[in-house]
Amino acid sequence: MTTAQITVEQIDAYRWRVPKQGKMRTYGLIFADAELMHDLEGDQCIQQVVNVAHLPGIVGPSIAMPDIHWGYGFPIGGVAAFDENEGVISPGGVGYDINCGVRLLRTPLSIDEARPRLKELADKLYQRIPSGVGASRSDVRLSVKELERVLERGAEWAVEEGYGRPRDLECIEAGGRLPGEPDCVSHRAKERGKNQLGTVGSGNHFVEVGYVAEVYDQAAARALGLERGTVTVFIHSGSRGLGYQVCDDYLDTMVKAAAKYGIELPDKQLCCAPLASTEAKNYIGAMNAAANYAFANRQLMSHYVRGALEEIFGRWVSEATDLVYDVAHNIAKFETHEVDGVKRRVCVHRKGATRAFPPGHPELHPRFREIGQPVLIPGDMGRYSFVLVGTAGAFNETFGSTCHGAGRKMSRHQAKKVARPRNIPKELEERGILVRAASRATVDEEIPEAYKDVAKVVDVVDAAGIGKKVVKLAPVAVVKG
């Protein structure tokens, strides 16, 4: 097939190759079925897969997940690895919302026990968890010095301050702390972040109450405490204004760096710097600091969720509400992978993609060694979400990566236009889903039909062997910004 003048060859039912041509240093590899590929015809995200393949030091293919859509520089749903000595790092390969990610809590409640008080719970969550644009009513006001501790220690800081339990850290990617360098974060970024910790934000961020509607892998579900009917809470948020500012600051730096080091770019949005350069090291320090902020942000919101559960259902419920896992969807990390039979240390960019390490991987906490890393895949607020586990197939083929969600198929402007004559909260309530939101605009631009069907995305991932389905979650209450 040809997509926007780019030839794409079908490898099998779930894999498509963009042949190496021109100045591409490698080929493109897209995970999708025929229907999802058809939806991508004419979309610029395929061109972005090609553009990433031009970058210096890229190792293996330029990869796209089935939830791929257009993004800044890299496509959202893009994965690319770069050799630590010859490769580059690009802020466009991480995105503006550094460590935008997802956290899943499981409660001791069944959906039958919780349903009579769902309205109270939805109201309490909306009251307790600040959402919306800007400072968002944050209850935490940090001095710059205290903020720098957050940037350095991540979720550890939050737990030490009483926002959670030490065992929470066992269930967070990288333990909720990356080697961040607060000194690499600008004053402007710190000013934007110091009053936003513990807030959801707006856009596609949310807090969602759901329940386990279907189980695909009984052993893995049992290990994660996700028995059928279990009430769960999803938290989807990132590094807020601080992460946005870090990206903005370093895009300026990287444009100059690309020119300085003679890097030819097919798209200015892919501006980058050699991994060994000062510019790259400074960005990595700032990116990790922003990632730590996001880990702490979700940790605080978990604390607020437990507080809401305690008010509605009693202390025993909050005490028995445990963290299943917390994963980053926008990050670049140094990892060791086997490439052409040789182990190499590479910098893996995951933008709108999830780490999916297999059973037995040494970076996983012992509680996950037998089943593999939990992978959290939110859908849209009207249908369903999924929990998967990582696989050896993902580790061998995609640098231990898989999809991150449904992927947009409508722009925010288009979604608002479609939703304008409708009452979306009422429609959802008629389907048994309560919505609490700071503004109508946020709900309208996040209508379910604005997204691909995440079940189709997850089915491709499962069939291709780069993730394994464990459970399906159905939403019953959503808090939006």
Go through the chain and tell me how many residues it has: 481
Task: Collect contacts of 364-373 with beta carbons under 8 A, ≥24 apart.
Answer: 365/170, 365/171, 367/170, 367/171, 367/223, 368/325, 370/223, 371/219, 371/220, 371/223, 371/224, 372/220, 372/468, 373/173, 373/325, 373/327
| 305: nearest Cα among 289, 326, 327 | 326
The answer to whether the Cα torsion of 196, 378, 94, 84 is positive or negative is: positive
> Rounded CA gap, 181 and 171, in Å?
23
Write down the catalytic residue from 205, 236, 404, 413.
Answer: 404
CB 295 within 8 A of CB 323: no
Question: Rounded to an integer, what is the distance from CA 184 to the centroid of its chain?
Answer: 23
> Rounded CA gap, 413 and 427, in Å?
20
Let me know if 361 is a catalytic residue: no
CB 69 within 8 A of CB 75: yes
> Rounded CA gap, 351 and 341, in Å?
26
> What six digits make up the tokens of 471?
């459970």
| 174: nearest Cα among 333, 8, 384 | 333
> Rounded CA gap, 250 and 280, in Å?
9
Question: Would you name the residues annotated as active-site residues?
Answer: 404
